[in-house]
């Protein structure tokens, strides 16, 4: 690699309605970690949470209430609200929202 690589900045684009009104789509995102290998689950979720902009959210689906993971999320340098939406044997759904 050269000492002075020519890097192209990458910018995130947001999807908008096809009508051109500029309003963002409000699709509810879900991250189902159950098929992810156990040792990769926490890093995957922490990466997803860290990528959220203020006001953005997703539902986390896990095989159990992810109490240790939620404690890790609380240690991130941003304000995150998490709410347990559903819990059953072998299943939990938690809403993750970046609030600040």
Please name the residue ranges forming H helices in the chain. 38-50, 67-74
Can you say whether the dihedral through the CA atoms of 64, 56, 85, 74 is positive or negative?
positive
Q: How far apart (Å, rounded) are the C-alpha atoms in residues 62 and 57?
A: 16
**What ranges do the domains of the chain cover?**
30-98
What does each of the 100 residues of the chain score in pLDDT, given as a tens digit?
456 665 555 444 444 444 555 555 567 899 999 999 999 999 999 999 999 999 999 999 999 999 999 999 999 999 999 999 999 999 999 999 999 8
**What is the model's pLDDT at position 26?**
61
CATH class of the structural domain 30-98? alpha beta
């Amino acid at each position: 690699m050269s000492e002075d690589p020519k890097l192209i900045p990458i910018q995130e684009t947001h999807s908008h309605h096809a009508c051109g009104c500029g309003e963002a789509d409000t699709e509810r995102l879900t991250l189902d970690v159950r098929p992810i290998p156990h040792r990769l689950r926490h890093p995957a979720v922490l990466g997803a949470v860290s990528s959220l902009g203020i006001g953005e959210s997703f539902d986390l689906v896990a095989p159990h209430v992810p109490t240790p993971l939620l404690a890790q999320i609380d240690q991130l340098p941003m304000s995150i609200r998490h709410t347990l939406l559903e819990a059953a044997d072998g299943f939990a759904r938690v809403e993750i929202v970046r609030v600040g």
